[in-house]
Homo-oligomer: A and B are copies of this chain.
Amino acid sequence: MGDSVAEKRKLLNRGRRLRGQVDALERAIEADAGCVQVMQLLVAIRGAVNGLMAEVVRDHIELHMIDPDRIPTERETEAADELASVLHSYIK
């Protein structure tokens, strides 16, 4: 995960945004906000969690599924890309 500085920063930003959304949710519950507002916050949080998951899955595939000590074959790279892409559609 720390293999790429840019990738880590990207995940951290997503993680912080998610925490901000969860803080807002907690405040909304505390302030007796209506059910509808709370549900709308949860819709957004769910999207953020799915987006983070899709991102980490992609990282895992790119950084760990192929041993960093060797060069992946073309078929392996293609299979990894296809899985990351289809999972992104399924999870979101």
Q: Contact residues of A with B, CB < 8 Å? A: 1-2, 8, 11-12, 15-16, 18-19, 22-23, 25-26, 29-30, 32-36, 38-40, 42-43, 45-46, 49-50, 52-53, 56-57, 59-61, 63-67, 69-70, 72-73, 75-76, 79-80, 82-83, 86-87, 89-91
Contact = CB atoms under 8 A, between A and B. Distances in A.
B32 A56 contact: no
A11, A30, A42, A80, most chain B CB atoms within 10 A: A42
Q: Is the interface of A mostly helix, strand, loop or mixed?
A: helix
A60 B57 CA distance: 14
Nearest to A80: B65
Given A60-B83, A65-B80, A38 B1 contact: yes
